[in-house]
């Protein structure tokens, strides 16, 4: 009897212990499940936030696209208007079958290429360059790399001549040489303008302009406009001669 009672008690204890273990295991599983549900809810909340942000961005992009589309439409309208105006202009022009538009040549200076480069050709490496408005062009840099000459027009009668003069701060000899280039250039292209009047005008122009940021002076002699320009940002004088 006592043995049976002991066995019964042992079985009861084992059964109770197993129940407790199962209960604890169930509670642990329930806790893990709740944590998983909470994590899932957080993930869903984050995804909802991202979706809302994407929707807001999409709405903003849609608005920008609408503005862009309106701008494109307005631009197309302007292009179409320009095309229509061009078509009307072309319709109004006289038809010249087989003829190219004639480019009117500017009046010459009455000076040949040889005259314009007299006593300068030895100091400049002058070569033929790309044409300008159908006219030949010749350009060259001085051997001291501080002056550039440009001659435009027929060799028998040029239409324009220009001289660019760099102004170094630390080379008085180069400055002197460039002043001589300017005087010789003016004497070649405007022989009607005598010395010392031409030299005085050049010296005064250089002196007056060099104190400014930029500026120009001009004078007309024998129907030719002599213009001296100065740009301090690159320390360069421009001397050009053309028809008035």
The predicted-structure confidence for 62-113, as pLDDT tens digits, reads as follows 676 676 667 667 666 665 665 666 566 555 555 455 555 555 677 899 999 9
Query: For residue 117, what is the DSSP state?
Result: T
pLDDT at residue 33 is higher than 80: no
Same domain? 120 vs 222: yes
Counting the structural domains of the chain, the total is 2
Same domain? 86 vs 131: no
Helix (H) or strand (E) segment spanning residue 204: helix 197-209
Q: Give the domain extent around 68.
A: 1-102
- For residues 113 and 12, the model is more confident at 113
pLDDT at position 126 is: 95
Same domain? 124 vs 230: yes
Residue with tokens 């050009």: 240
pLDDT at position 54 is: 74
Q: What is the mean predicted confidence (pLDDT) over 200-227?
A: 91
Is 128 part of a structural domain of the chain? yes
Rounded to the nearest integer, the mean pLDDT of the chain is 81
Which pLDDT band, with edges at 50, 70 and 90, does 238 fall under?
Answer: very high
- For residues 79 and 144, the model is more confident at 144
Same domain? 27 vs 130: no
Task: Express each pLDDT in 215-231 by its tens digit.
Answer: 999 999 999 999 999 98
Is 108 part of a structural domain of the chain? no
Which pLDDT band, with edges at 50, 70 and 90, does 15 fall under?
Answer: low
pTM of the model: 0.57
For strand 147-153 and strand 236-243, is the pairing parallel, antiparallel, or unpaired?
unpaired
Last residue of a domain, one of 102, 121, 143: 102
Q: What count of other Cβ atoms lies within 10 Å of the Cβ of residue 129?
A: 14
Residue with tokens 């059964």: 15
Last residue of a domain, one of 102, 125, 153: 102
Is 107 part of a structural domain of the chain? no
């Amino acid at each position: 009897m006592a043995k049976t009672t002991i066995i019964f008690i042992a079985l009861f204890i084992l059964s109770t212990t197993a129940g407790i273990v199962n209960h604890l295991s169930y509670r642990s599983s329930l806790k893990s499940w709740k944590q998983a549900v909470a994590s899932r809810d957080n993930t869903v909340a984050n995804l909802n936030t991202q979706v809302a942000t994407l929707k807001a961005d999409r709405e903003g992009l849609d608005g920008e696209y609408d503005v862009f589309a309106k701008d494109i439409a307005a631009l197309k309208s302007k292009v179409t208007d320009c095309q229509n105006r061009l078509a009307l202009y072309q319709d109004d022009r006289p038809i010249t079958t087989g003829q190219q538009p004639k480019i009117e040549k500017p009046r010459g200076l009455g000076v040949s290429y040889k005259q314009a480069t007299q006593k300068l050709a030895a100091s400049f490496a002058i070569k033929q360059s790309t044409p300008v408005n159908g006219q030949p062009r010749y350009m060259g840099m001085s051997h001291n790399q501080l002056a550039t000459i440009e001659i435009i027009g027929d060799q028998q009668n040029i239409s324009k001549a220009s001289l660019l003069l760099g102004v170094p701060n630390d080379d008085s000899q180069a400055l002197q040489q460039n002043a001589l280039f300017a005087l010789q250039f003016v004497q070649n292209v405007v022989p009607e303008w005598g010395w010392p009047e031409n030299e005085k005008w050049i010296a005064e122009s250089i002196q007056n302009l060099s104190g400014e940021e930029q500026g120009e002076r001009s004078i007309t002699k024998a129907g030719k406009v002599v213009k001296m320009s100065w740009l301090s940002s690159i320390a360069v004088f421009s001397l050009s001669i053309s028809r008035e």
